[in-house]
Structure 1
Amino acid sequence: MLDRYGRVINYLRISVTDRCNLRCCYCMPEGVQDVGMKNILTFEEIWEIVRTGVSLGITHIRITGGEPLVRKGCVDLIRGIREIPGVETITMTTNGVLLGNYGKQLKEAGVDGVNISLDTLDPEEFYKITGKRELQEVLAGIRAAKTAGLPVKLNAVNRKELDPIPLVRYAQEENLPLRFIEIMPVGYGKKYVGRSNEELRETLEAVCGKAECMTNREELSRMGSGPAVYYQFSDLKVPVGFISAIHGKFCDTCNRVRLTAEGYLKLCLCYDEGEDLRRVLREGEKENLRTIMEQTIFRKPAAHCFEHPAEMTETHEMVKIGG
């Protein structure tokens, strides 16, 4: 469907839990308050929302969290989504800790690819960032996903302290696309906003050779439907992507909405505007779900206001929104 600015909205990010088995410093270092499973959408409710979304033109689904694999039955949830006619792609964002146990199952359930968060290859720095000593589990999860035939992309947050070179070298050795993400001033992320991706790209050019922006549509289509801008560095064989929400605003082409674990249909990370679909499903308005979703998505804001933090109305931590 089209929103009021003529953008095609065809991508729904579904947070299936706000729980996580890591405690990343820029996300949820203190954990989250337990809201109880009764306040989390059931699988049946998620399937109903996806079916309705598909009727409105939603074709791409991303499963997020928290860490989605900590939710019991996550594979069954995905299998049910895959059975919904009109769903073209299902992808997942994960920290990779549990992926070694689920790679094959996710592939069989119909997952089309996984994005795996990896901010460092140094065990001590990993512990400092995540609060856990799970780096080897993440690396094993990456290997398991590749073995299962799942396309893998690596995500690294562009923190001020980031040393990108070891990550780039690892991505080249594993033949995996790597994307650097500018951290957004949401929740704990406000403390970690640092250099721009443009500065980072210039740093990489000094080591990895001249960078050329990729424009071939066929090549880019294989990278997915997200907002990353990919560059091919002359000394690298695998492209490097940059998601630059702060310094490279891409709101004019934004194609996504988010569904939180508690059922809130969220339109933009900056604002609390949206609709409580859990209430719609549980308080006798289920027959109006399609109309309510359509009207809500149509109101999607024109752009975020990260460059003007005082204008933000979103007060939740990122983990409560869905990563």
Structure 2
Amino acid sequence: MLIDKYGRKINYMRISVTQRCNFRCLYCMPKIPFDWVPKENLLTFEEMFLFVKVAIDEGISKIRITGGEPLLRKDLDVFISMIHNYKKDIDLAITTNGYFLKDYAKDLKKAGLKRINVSLDTLDPKKAKMISQKEVLSNVLAGIEEAINLGFKVKINTVALKNLNDNELISLLEYAKSLNIQIRFIEFMENYHAYGKLQGLKSNEILEILKQKYKIISSRKAQNSPVTLYEINDYTFGIIDPHSHEFCDTCNRIRLSADGLLIPCLYYDESLSIKEAVKRKDLKAAVEILKEVLRNKPEKNKWSIVDNETSSRAFYQTGG
């Protein structure tokens, strides 16, 4: 069992398999060139899997594959299959922008993937193009439909932005409700790589918009999750508020980047590399690095310490 120095049980690992993305979303990486990281700088899936096995043996029971855009990495289904075959009951999920999902959903299902989160910030094709800087919406919606048809548990992630999609929050909720899937509205996470004029909606502002049509019946904090769940009639939606202390109180996560950095907190630059250890197949050393990272895991994120703190970490490197 993995326990940090604040007594939190760490059982969830997010793995960024690539920094590359085919979108250039305003809130993430709008000015980053469309480039690629040399293959030799990345861990191979075989090397990643060596560490994944160690992490599972030490107590990791939930893994989410992220990016960049994870479906850009070749043979992702093979990597997912490695993990699934090692531990059949592991909670195995992916977060994707959905653009290639229709093409790869069957392979992901066969490999053992259980859950998919898809980013969807608007139902307006022109607005989607403005946010992502690419014609994307029809592909994303087709990917969501395909994933549902194949029996995946699907959720939608929506970044709530002033003067961009604030007039669509009710429509997005109703779209998710019509598909019987959950939508989670996410507060904009300020970072140096985002378009500088963006303004996010706070959780209370999101709720005020939704209350224009719906009565919030109840709310509760999801167990071991940064999301607060709200009930309206027969439907549950969520809001993720990374600026609050509660975001950190039950944090059970560590992150592994595509180039081998093991990161204890999304909003800190401190990390340790497992790259050399796994390339040497020195699993004992990898375990010691894992335990050192847990010793370094902070109690609170920087936003909880300094108001309006902006993260210097690029979320496309760590998967958000």
Question: TM-score surpassing 0.5?
Answer: yes
- Which residue does the alignment assign to 2:68? 66
Q: In structure 2, how many angstroms separate the alpha carbons of the residues matched to 1:295 and 1:316?
A: 20
Q: In structure 2, how many angstroms separate the alpha carbons of the residues matched to 1:262 and 1:55?
A: 22
Aligned pairs for 1:93-108 (under 5 A) are 93-108=95-110
- Which residue does the alignment assign to 1:177? 182
1:322 deviates by 2.0
The answer to whether residue 201 in structure 2 is matched with residue 195 in structure 1 is: yes
Q: In structure 2, how many angstroms separate the alpha carbons of the residues matched to 1:3 and 1:277?
A: 18
Aligned pairs for 1:112-131 (under 5 A) are 112-131=114-133
The answer to whether residue 213 in structure 2 is matched with residue 212 in structure 1 is: no
Aligned pairs for 1:225-304 (under 5 A) are 226-234=225-233, 237-247=234-244, 249-282=246-279, 285-304=282-301
Greater CA drift, 128-137 or 98-107: 98-107
Q: In structure 2, how many angstroms separate the alpha carbons of the residues matched to 1:300 and 1:193?
A: 29
Do 2:158 and 2:183's aligned partners in 1 also have CA atoms closer than 8 Å? yes
1:274 deviates by 1.7
Gaps of 5+ in 2: none
Count of residues in correspondence between the two structures? 313
Greater CA drift, 188-197 or 16-25: 188-197
For 2:230, the aligned partner's letter is: Y
1:112 deviates by 1.1
Aligned-residue identity in percent: 38
For 2:207, the aligned partner's letter is: R
Q: In structure 2, how many angstroms separate the alpha carbons of the residues matched to 1:133 and 1:311?
A: 33
Going from structure 1 to structure 2, the CA distance change for 1:283 and 1:309 (only over 3 Å counts) comes to: farther
Q: In structure 2, how many angstroms separate the alpha carbons of the residues matched to 1:291 and 1:89?
A: 24
Do 1:63 and 1:93's aligned partners in 2 also have CA atoms closer than 8 Å? yes
Residue 292 of structure 1 aligns to a residue whose secondary structure is: helix
1:242 deviates by 0.6
1:108 deviates by 1.4
Going from structure 1 to structure 2, the CA distance change for 1:287 and 1:8 (only over 3 Å counts) comes to: closer
For 1:30, the aligned partner's letter is: K
Do 2:226 and 2:246's aligned partners in 1 also have CA atoms closer than 8 Å? no
TM-score (norm 2): 0.91
Q: In structure 2, how many angstroms separate the alpha carbons of the residues matched to 1:5 and 1:46?
A: 27
- Which residue does the alignment assign to 1:25? 26
For 1:254, the aligned partner's letter is: C
Q: In structure 2, how many angstroms separate the alpha carbons of the residues matched to 1:244 and 1:316?
A: 18
Residue 21 of structure 1 aligns to a residue whose secondary structure is: coil
1:283 deviates by 5.6
Q: In structure 2, how many angstroms separate the alpha carbons of the residues matched to 1:244 and 1:46?
A: 30
Q: In structure 1, how many angstroms separate the alpha carbons of the residues matched to 2:254 and 2:145?
A: 31
- Which residue does the alignment assign to 1:75? 77
Residue by residue over 1:189-210, the C-alpha shift from the partner in whole angstroms, topping out at 9 and shown as x without a partner, is 4833422112211221121223
Do 1:182 and 1:193's aligned partners in 2 also have CA atoms closer than 8 Å? no
1:321 deviates by 2.2
For 1:140, the aligned partner's letter is: A
1:261 deviates by 1.1
Q: In structure 2, how many angstroms separate the alpha carbons of the residues matched to 1:104 and 1:284?
A: 33
Do 1:187 and 1:318's aligned partners in 2 also have CA atoms closer than 8 Å? no
1:246 deviates by 1.2
Residue by residue over 1:89-140, the C-alpha shift from the partner in whole angstroms, topping out at 9 and shown as x without a partner, is 1000001111101112211111111000000000000000001111000000
The answer to whether residue 31 in structure 2 is matched with residue 44 in structure 1 is: no
Residue 272 of structure 2 aligns to a residue whose secondary structure is: strand
- Which residue does the alignment assign to 1:165? 170
Q: In structure 2, how many angstroms separate the alpha carbons of the residues matched to 1:83 and 1:206?
A: 48
Do 1:58 and 1:87's aligned partners in 2 also have CA atoms closer than 8 Å? no
1:186 deviates by 2.5
Going from structure 1 to structure 2, the CA distance change for 1:35 and 1:210 (only over 3 Å counts) comes to: closer
Residue by residue over 1:208-244, the C-alpha shift from the partner in whole angstroms, topping out at 9 and shown as x without a partner, is 22341147xxxx67xxx5321110113xx32110110
TM-score (norm 1): 0.91
Gaps of 5+ in 1: none
